[in-house]
Amino acid sequence: MTTPVSERQSPETPVDELIPSVDEAPGSRPVAWPHRHLLDVDALTIDEIETVMRTADAMRQVLARPIPKVPALRGRSVTILFYEASTRTRVSFEVGAKNLSADVVNIAAATSSVAKGESLVDTVRTIEALGADILVIRHPVSGAPYLAASVFGGSVVNGGDGWHAHPTQALLDLYTMRQRLPRGSVAGRKVVILGDVLHSRVARSNVWALTAAGADVWLCGPPTLLRGFDAWARAGAGGRRFTVTSSVVDALRDADVVMALRIQKERMTGGLLPSLREYATRYGLTRERLSLARPDAIVMHPGPMNEGVEIAPAVATGAQSVIADQVANGVAIRMALLYLLAGART
Amino acid sequence: MTTPVSERQSPETPVDELIPSVDEAPGSRPVAWPHRHLLDVDALTIDEIETVMRTADAMRQVLARPIPKVPALRGRSVTILFYEASTRTRVSFEVGAKNLSADVVNIAAATSSVAKGESLVDTVRTIEALGADILVIRHPVSGAPYLAASVFGGSVVNGGDGWHAHPTQALLDLYTMRQRLPRGSVAGRKVVILGDVLHSRVARSNVWALTAAGADVWLCGPPTLLRGFDAWARAGAGGRRFTVTSSVVDALRDADVVMALRIQKERMTGGLLPSLREYATRYGLTRERLSLARPDAIVMHPGPMNEGVEIAPAVATGAQSVIADQVANGVAIRMALLYLLAGART
Amino acid sequence: MTTPVSERQSPETPVDELIPSVDEAPGSRPVAWPHRHLLDVDALTIDEIETVMRTADAMRQVLARPIPKVPALRGRSVTILFYEASTRTRVSFEVGAKNLSADVVNIAAATSSVAKGESLVDTVRTIEALGADILVIRHPVSGAPYLAASVFGGSVVNGGDGWHAHPTQALLDLYTMRQRLPRGSVAGRKVVILGDVLHSRVARSNVWALTAAGADVWLCGPPTLLRGFDAWARAGAGGRRFTVTSSVVDALRDADVVMALRIQKERMTGGLLPSLREYATRYGLTRERLSLARPDAIVMHPGPMNEGVEIAPAVATGAQSVIADQVANGVAIRMALLYLLAGART
């Protein structure tokens, strides 16, 4: 916590220098991460994103060991507070924290005092008083993690808030692309995000991280599910550029990465889509459509999938799919972030 | 994982030779179990059932220690995925896995992505990518664990599927009978399974294990709750023999073991039973009825019980009841199975 | 378990003599606690309450360490069975038990066999057979923990039962008052419990513990929410004295401690309160009302709060509030009780 800035590790430190410190308990670590919380990817510089990626490399080496456990967070307490159902995000934080030897407390809002009407702020204060060092929160209201961070004395990690942000998903997606793309870089690569962009915290966070990393980002979907992004694209979104289109042919042609987004059935009731069948017919990621992309293009999906709607089963499990890698890398990325936050010098 | 077949432990290895290997981490173990999954008892030979029983003996010795923990599964990850409510099965797997030093992740379907409509296959693939080595699954649909095993890279344990099978229950029941019966064998003993045989995965799995072990198995209940078993009995069910009757007097007379099954209240609505009261009057296991059995007969129930319906409270907690032993042995049996599967040489 | 009475530690043993035994595994401990269960505070003598307080002091020293873990309960199994939603009580038991190196099993009644209609007695017998040494239970029915204790072979801790008792809350409240009051004693101090006294297990348990410790206890609220306490007060309640009033001015004047109780919205439907707004206007703990108390009076609330109803937000988070201390001390008190029960000589 008090590591002087002068000792801050430069982004170029190789992974094998990180490994020894991962195997030691807190206090002996050279890493100094400048952020107390992880609320959105837009707070990270390119160098900091690089540090996350290299730390995740070190964590993947830990995960490859027969006993994938290191003492780095021994004695630290991680509370996972989820107001929405989840398997992969919750479990990957739980597994990641336990691999780092942290103690983990799970709180599902449905069976907690939240059900008695306790305010988020009171719940967060209570969790802090119970001894939590790191709070991972998922909440249906955009901005809830920011409110939590304003009262929590430790570190807050955004595990997904409303339509707003899902920063750990964006980082694991970027990590997975770099792992699979030639020369390990997304710079200049055509990355297509296909589907319900409007309601997707995954899309929002990915646009930011990918444009920062120099990718040629395309957002594609029915016009009703792209609303607002056109204006954002034209405005230049903080100096970054991306393309918005409803033409699935334009989008997929020569793509290097195609990421299909989940179509939530509840969107139908809002009149934004005529039917799932029509969506599947016009925008579903089928083998035929995928053939428009580069032959070595990779297929991604943040899960959970509606197979046969936004993605065909044969594509989801085909040779180009890296969907299982996304899940596995999610554990490494979350370990990396918990590790960095535990060493934050703020 | 790679122990050659030639080193495979014979079923006659005494328990005290097993104990040292239980106290060591994986890799150093002589046991080679030939099955990757445990989906039903019908896949086990008599010798393999013997191996499970002896391994459970070793685990009971571990459980009797002041600190009932061994490092056998250290670094292994066990995920418990339950689509149905449960106390004893879920907790006994959790406690057993932790006693073996495994890491345990609980997923209750109601609070997971399953609630968002994710398919079982996708959920299982996700759990594998998250690092699970062993998946314990309970599911209301018969056959679901087979589907899970077809896509999961590790070991799948069936924790109960629909009306089909509940193999760990059958093994702990057999273990409990052998523990209590003279000369430790069910061969030639009259074992009565009383109640809702039709809807019981416990009955199905027990018929298989008990007839294999040479017991004289009787199935007894109202005709509507025995449907199909008559034909199965006449057909000889894979060379095994058992008796089906609606006469509770014929069934209980001189019985060595009486196992009452849970009557699920929802069966009433289906018209299969006139009322719980009538069931209790005609088939409930009362002290009077139990007096038809041998004086030293043991009383079993897989739980949870409807006391006063299928079993009288005085019988459930009486001197002949081994119901609490069933629960305690359940932990030892599940430890044995997790241990064997972790050493599977497939 | 078998420490002779002659070795029983006197209440005057200083904390630094407790610390070494906290750092050792069970068996080596000098503490002998005379109660197998903790069902209500009324079973504890003044000396025993002192022992709890001093043991909690030792646990606070453990909590202040970089790695707040001691091996005292290694190999012991603690099952937390909650039939009602809870955050702070459940999590503080879980964190406390893990800090003592116990194994923890959580059972939420909604996802357990309880949902299938299993009786409490059967559930408790099952939990014992599964290996639990200590059972922490919260139940909506008053007296349920006593029923559990009548069949459970280990120790039962009441985590709150109906309107009846919440002994660990009373102990942590007393601990928090002593920590903050001059000379560390509640004797002769005016302690006001304000709100829905009628339905509060917190109020019931606190009246007992505080009058035993010599506090001048005042119960204040609308007449409909004080019913029965007037008669109890006049009867002298086991030789103890306290004052019951509906005058918030009389109650708060010169108070040393003001504890606001949660107003449960469901009380409105029962006709006991005209509206939450009216309650807030007449009995809510505002800054103006708090100014009637002594300038250094402390403000408490057992949580979860309805801010703006029974307590104003500015008071809940103001300089006089010790609400967060209550939560933090709750972990220390629960560690102390688990530790004492694990060494019970009964």
DSSP for A180-209, please give it.
HSGGG--TT-EEEEES--TT-HHHHHHHHH
Chain A residue with CA closest to B106: the answer is A91
- Cβ atoms of B130 and A68 within 8 Å: the answer is no
List the single range of A46-55, A336-345, B252-261, B331-340 with lowest mean pLDDT.
Answer: A336-345
pLDDT, position A9 = 42
pLDDT, position B5 = 34
Cβ separation A75–C68 shorter than 8 A: yes
User: Which helix (H) or strand (E) covers residue A156, if one does?
Assistant: strand A155-161
Closest CA to C325 of C179, C202, C225: C179
**For chain B, percent of residues with pLDDT exceeding 70:** 89
The CATH architecture of the domain made up of B167-323 is 3-Layer(aba) Sandwich (3.40)
- CB nearest C303 (choices: A115, A126, A128): A126
The C-alpha of A304 sits at a distance from chain B's nearest C-alpha, in angstroms, of 6
Interior angle at CA B6, CA B4 and CA B8, nearest 5: 80
pLDDT, position C10 = 44
pLDDT, position C269 = 66
pLDDT, position C21 = 80
pLDDT, position C100 = 97
List the single range of A171-180, B9-18, B312-321, C327-336 with lowest mean pLDDT.
Answer: B9-18
Tens of pLDDT, residue by residue over B199-216, are: 999 999 999 999 999 999
Q: How confident is the model at residue B152 (pLDDT cuts 50, 70, 90)?
A: very high
The neighbour count for residue A232, using CB atoms within 10 Å, is 16
pLDDT, position A118 = 84
Q: Residue A342 above 50 pLDDT? A: yes
The neighbour count for residue C36, using CB atoms within 10 Å, is 17
- CB nearest C95 (choices: A114, A119, A131): A131
- CB nearest C113 (choices: B87, B307, B323): B87
User: Which helix (H) or strand (E) covers residue A138, if one does?
Assistant: strand A134-139
Peptide bond into C304 cis (omega under 30): yes
Cβ separation A328–B130 shorter than 8 A: yes
Q: With contacts defined as CB-CB under 8 Å, which chain A residues touch B127?
A: 87, 91
Closest CA to C43 of C125, C156, C187: C156
Cβ separation A131–C68 shorter than 8 A: yes
Q: With contacts defined as CB-CB under 8 Å, which chain A residues touch C303?
A: 113, 118, 122, 126
The C-alpha atoms of residue C206 and residue C193 are separated, in whole angstroms, by: 9
The C-alpha atoms of residue A111 and residue A122 are separated, in whole angstroms, by: 16
Q: Could you give the 3-state DSSP secondary structure of residue C83?
A: coil
Cβ separation B130–A68 shorter than 8 A: no
pLDDT, position B235 = 76
Closest CA to B207 of B198, B195, B218, B223: B218
**For chain A, percent of residues with pLDDT exceeding 70:** 89
Q: Residue A273 above 80 pLDDT? A: no
pLDDT, position C30 = 53
- Cβ atoms of C312 and C277 within 8 Å: the answer is no
CA distances from B192 to B277, B299, B325, C143 (A): 22, 10, 18, 38
Closest CA to C330 of C60, C35, C15: C60
Torsion of CA C139, C140, C146, C149, to 10 degrees: -20
pLDDT, position B264 = 78
The CATH architecture of the domain made up of B5-166+328-344 is 3-Layer(aba) Sandwich (3.40)
Residue A280 CA to chain centroid, in angstroms? Answer: 25
Task: For chain A, give every domain's residue range.
Answer: 5-166+328-344, 167-323
Q: Could you give the 3-state DSSP secondary structure of residue C252?
A: helix
More confident residue, B51 or B27: B51
Q: Say if C266 is an interface residue toward chain A (CB within 8 Å).
A: no
Q: Residue A115 above 80 pLDDT? A: no
* Alpha helices (H) along C68-188: 88-99, 120-129, 144-151, 167-180
Digit-by-digit pLDDT tens for chain C (346 residues) are 333 333 334 445 567 777 778 887 665 555 679 999 999 999 999 999 999 999 999 999 999 999 999 999 999 999 999 998 888 999 999 999 999 999 999 998 876 666 677 899 999 999 999 999 999 999 999 999 999 999 999 999 999 999 999 999 999 999 999 999 999 999 999 999 999 999 999 999 999 999 999 999 999 999 999 988 888 888 765 667 899 999 999 999 999 999 999 997 766 666 777 788 899 999 999 999 999 999 999 999 999 999 999 999 999 999 999 999 999 999 999 999 999 999 876 5
What chains are in contact with A, requiring at least 3 Cβ pairs below 8 Å? B, C
Q: How confident is the model at residue A5 (pLDDT cuts 50, 70, 90)?
A: very low
Q: With contacts defined as CB-CB under 8 Å, which chain B residues touch C127?
A: 87, 91
- Cβ atoms of A104 and A78 within 8 Å: the answer is yes
pLDDT, position B241 = 85
Query: What tokens does A127 get?
Result: 């969790």
Tens of pLDDT, residue by residue over A226-240, are: 988 888 888 765 667
pLDDT, position B26 = 63
List the single range of A165-174, B27-36, B124-133 with lowest mean pLDDT.
Answer: B27-36
The C-alpha of B104 sits at a distance from chain A's nearest C-alpha, in angstroms, of 9
pLDDT, position C304 = 93
* Global pTM value: 0.92
pLDDT, position A75 = 93
ipTM for the complex shown: 0.91
- Cβ atoms of B339 and B100 within 8 Å: the answer is yes
What chains are in contact with B, requiring at least 3 Cβ pairs below 8 Å? A, C
Domains C5-166+328-344 and C167-323 alike in fold? yes
Question: B207 exposed, middle or buried (CB, 10 Å; 0-12, 13-18, 19+)?
Answer: buried
pLDDT, position C11 = 47
The neighbour count for residue C157, using CB atoms within 10 Å, is 24
Q: What is the mean pLDDT of chain A?
A: 90
Q: Say if A123 is an interface residue toward chain B (CB within 8 Å).
A: no
Q: Residue B3 above 70 pLDDT? A: no
List the single range of B325-329, B339-343, C9-13, C324-328 with lowest mean pLDDT.
Answer: C9-13
The C-alpha atoms of residue B84 and residue B161 are separated, in whole angstroms, by: 10
The C-alpha atoms of residue B61 and residue B51 are separated, in whole angstroms, by: 16
Q: Say if B314 is an interface residue toward chain C (CB within 8 Å).
A: no
pLDDT, position C238 = 62
DSSP letter, residue A112: S
The neighbour count for residue A175, using CB atoms within 10 Å, is 23
Closest CA to C247 of C312, C292, C309: C292
Closest CA to A70 of A333, A335, A328, A326: A335
pLDDT, position B240 = 74
For B311, list phi and psi in degrees, rounded to 5: -150, 140
Interior angle at CA B110, CA B109 and CA B115, nearest 5: 85
